[in-house]
Chains A and B, each alone.
Chain A
């Protein structure tokens, strides 16, 4: 057995030990899980360095399904894409494990929480290491399940379980499409193994499928396009793209560490990972590619506009995550898979940093999440402030921070991908400006200005202590991640991450000669980011009434953004209300009326008819004797005279 097996196995062992024996830990759950996680992280680094100068590793653990022509094995595949994702996932997961020890201190579900994040990490690692679609799908569902049980961690609060249900149900819609896609892959290719699919792909590239043959339809669809789009539906659900996104902001009801781990750095990027992993299928279908690109671009800009007006610190970061995921999907849609993965990695670091920083702020404010009830925190929380500033600069794409390199790579790849690419580039640049604006709005409102809270007014403030810096166990992950947020982009650029990844996937080819050189493209996006920061400073850097005036001036746009483009309301109207109405109809009318009516009717009939017949039983002995006598005479006379 090689050490690769240990990478997913160690978190699983951690989960089993803490999960089974959790009543005995009594707030010491980190003793088991954190060292195992660190070991897994070290092994991931080793795996990464092995792939750096070696070929992809492929280990078959066991045959899972062996039925007819369907062969599915549980395997571990570590190629360049997996290795680099593994490093990011285990790094963030380890830091979140450490952070949790501080953040969730004194929580009644402390050990349970550790068990679940270890289970999540195991599932995510297996998802990355899978070598066939079915294995991917199993762990795809497993991470979704872990996300559910972690969002619902504070299960006694109604918003938690409502949000968890919403996340699970919305993901189910996406997963249904994903499952159909897998079935179609099996029907067309006869295998679920990635490498075998890619081998057989050229032979099926012109295959068509007729969906309406049962209804005598004749329209033929390209089967590769259908597969790509169905699989993309799964990615839309998991990576919170339009229109299946509303679960992600609501998932912020869960504890902050899982927002950082699951809903920023790892699980939500599974959709992008899947697209990149199956890039030959997507490359074979230009229609699917443009659908992917447009979905990503629209998600990026819509999420960015929503983030402009939100007041909840975690919601702002959540919409920013959604917007950045849109960027990555857009990058995949224009064929810049390497740039998408690069952004995924840097984003994983700086967005986890922002979430953990937000968690540190919330922790010190004793549960307050409204940014307009904070303010002036830079004096009390120097480490949190400086690390969050680094994260925000990285998110805004200011050099030399990580976001600059990856975001610019996406933008320049988009620009070079032909005429529609220019549109994507413009959307991307606009989004970049909005991103810089809302990120620094958060920074200015939370950390500068006057204090908008009074002592002892906090949610759980029994003793009403002033804001304070978080303990070292929480600031250490922030510091570590800010190093990554500074260095990851430079390192990726310097050591040619795209060249490294191109061993697993194709690089995009530029169409024609771009009108703008790469340097001018870069400077445009940096300038745009700086403009966004300056705008945020002008509006929120010092006390001003301009934001209120603007909100009144553009009331329509303001309410559109504040209400998240009314997605929840529209879904409520189209899906939730009719479903509830239909359910009530079925309950009150069909179930109570028809079903219960039949059952109760039968009972009623028996009862009334029995009551009628019961009159025969008078209880008078002589009545019975008379009936007996009449019967006897009747029988005797029958015997004597009729025969």
Chain B
């Protein structure tokens, strides 16, 4: 049986990959994808702990996260499309219009 620490290690690695992607990539679409990776890192954590702790609640929580993530992606993509129409670009550095 695979020990828990492996799952946690996988989840941490995924989370860090996602985080670094969010911080360094300039393409807004990729940033959105990276956020999804981070969410799924959390999901892996949930499932792993659910298995080892013998509680089913966490698995239900995962479904919630997946649903919310789907909704969030829909909104996020919508925002990115309207930003693209506004600026003609998906480069995240161009989206600083709230700054004075």
Chain A residues proximal to chain B, CB less than 8 Å: 614, 617-622, 625-626, 629
The answer to whether B19 and A629 have CB atoms under 8 Å apart is yes
Given contacts A618-B96, A619-B98, 18 further A-B contacts (CB under 8 A): A617-B100, A619-B96, A619-B97, A620-B92, A620-B93, A620-B96, A621-B95, A621-B96, A622-B22, A622-B23, A622-B24, A622-B31, A622-B92, A625-B22, A625-B23, A626-B23, A629-B19, A629-B23
Determine how close the nearest CB of chain B comes to the CB of A618; give it in whole angstroms: 7
- Give B74-100 as 1s and 0s: 1 = Cβ < 8 Å from A's Cβ atoms: 000000000000000000110111111
The answer to whether B99 and A619 have CB atoms under 8 Å apart is yes
B99 touches which of A617, A622, A626, A629 (Cβ 8 Å): A617
Interface size on B, residues (CB 8 A): 13
Cα-based distance from A617 to B22 in the complex (angstroms): 19
The answer to whether B100 and A621 have CB atoms under 8 Å apart is no
Residues of B within 8 A of A617 (CB): 99-100
Residues of B within 8 A of A621 (CB): 92, 95-96
Cα-based distance from A622 to B22 in the complex (angstroms): 7
Residues of A within 8 A of B97 (CB): 619
Cα-based distance from A83 to B95 in the complex (angstroms): 94
Cα-based distance from A102 to B55 in the complex (angstroms): 113
Chain B residues proximal to chain A, CB less than 8 Å: 19, 22-24, 31, 92-93, 95-100
Residues of B within 8 A of A625 (CB): 22-23
Residues of B within 8 A of A626 (CB): 23
Cα-based distance from A618 to B99 in the complex (angstroms): 7
A/B interface sample: 8 pairs, CB < 8 A = A614-B100, A617-B100, A618-B99, A619-B96, A620-B92, A621-B95, A622-B31, A629-B23
| Chain A minimum-CB-distance residue to B19 | A629
Cα-based distance from A617 to B97 in the complex (angstroms): 12
Cα-based distance from A620 to B98 in the complex (angstroms): 10
Residues of A within 8 A of B31 (CB): 622
Cα-based distance from A614 to B100 in the complex (angstroms): 9
Determine how close the nearest CB of chain A comes to the CB of B79; give it in whole angstroms: 12
Residues of A within 8 A of B93 (CB): 620
Determine how close the nearest CB of chain A comes to the CB of B42; give it in whole angstroms: 14
Cα-based distance from A617 to B92 in the complex (angstroms): 16
Cα-based distance from A625 to B100 in the complex (angstroms): 19
Cα-based distance from A232 to B16 in the complex (angstroms): 97
- The 4 closest A-B CB pairs, nearest first, are A619-B99, A619-B96, A626-B23, A622-B23
Cα-based distance from A617 to B23 in the complex (angstroms): 16
Determine how close the nearest CB of chain B comes to the CB of A535; give it in whole angstroms: 88
Determine how close the nearest CB of chain B comes to the CB of A271; give it in whole angstroms: 70
Cα-based distance from A626 to B92 in the complex (angstroms): 14
Residues of B within 8 A of A620 (CB): 92-93, 96
Determine how close the nearest CB of chain B comes to the CB of A636; give it in whole angstroms: 12
Determine how close the nearest CB of chain B comes to the CB of A226; give it in whole angstroms: 71
Cα-based distance from A618 to B96 in the complex (angstroms): 8
| Chain A minimum-CB-distance residue to B22 | A625
Cα-based distance from A427 to B22 in the complex (angstroms): 108
Residues of A within 8 A of B23 (CB): 622, 625-626, 629
Determine how close the nearest CB of chain B comes to the CB of A182; give it in whole angstroms: 66
| Chain A minimum-CB-distance residue to B26 | A622
| Chain B minimum-CB-distance residue to A632 | B19
Cα-based distance from A70 to B26 in the complex (angstroms): 88
Residues of B within 8 A of A618 (CB): 96, 99
Determine how close the nearest CB of chain A comes to the CB of B53; give it in whole angstroms: 20
Cα-based distance from A234 to B31 in the complex (angstroms): 90
Cα-based distance from A245 to B98 in the complex (angstroms): 72
Cα-based distance from A50 to B69 in the complex (angstroms): 110
Determine how close the nearest CB of chain A comes to the CB of B20; give it in whole angstroms: 9
Determine how close the nearest CB of chain B comes to the CB of A291; give it in whole angstroms: 75
Cα-based distance from A620 to B22 in the complex (angstroms): 12
| Chain A minimum-CB-distance residue to B35 | A625
Determine how close the nearest CB of chain B comes to the CB of A613; give it in whole angstroms: 12
Determine how close the nearest CB of chain A comes to the CB of B17; give it in whole angstroms: 13
Cα-based distance from A622 to B28 in the complex (angstroms): 11
| Chain A minimum-CB-distance residue to B93 | A620
Residues of A within 8 A of B19 (CB): 629
Cα-based distance from A620 to B99 in the complex (angstroms): 9
Determine how close the nearest CB of chain B comes to the CB of A134; give it in whole angstroms: 66
Cα-based distance from A629 to B16 in the complex (angstroms): 10
Cα-based distance from A620 to B24 in the complex (angstroms): 12
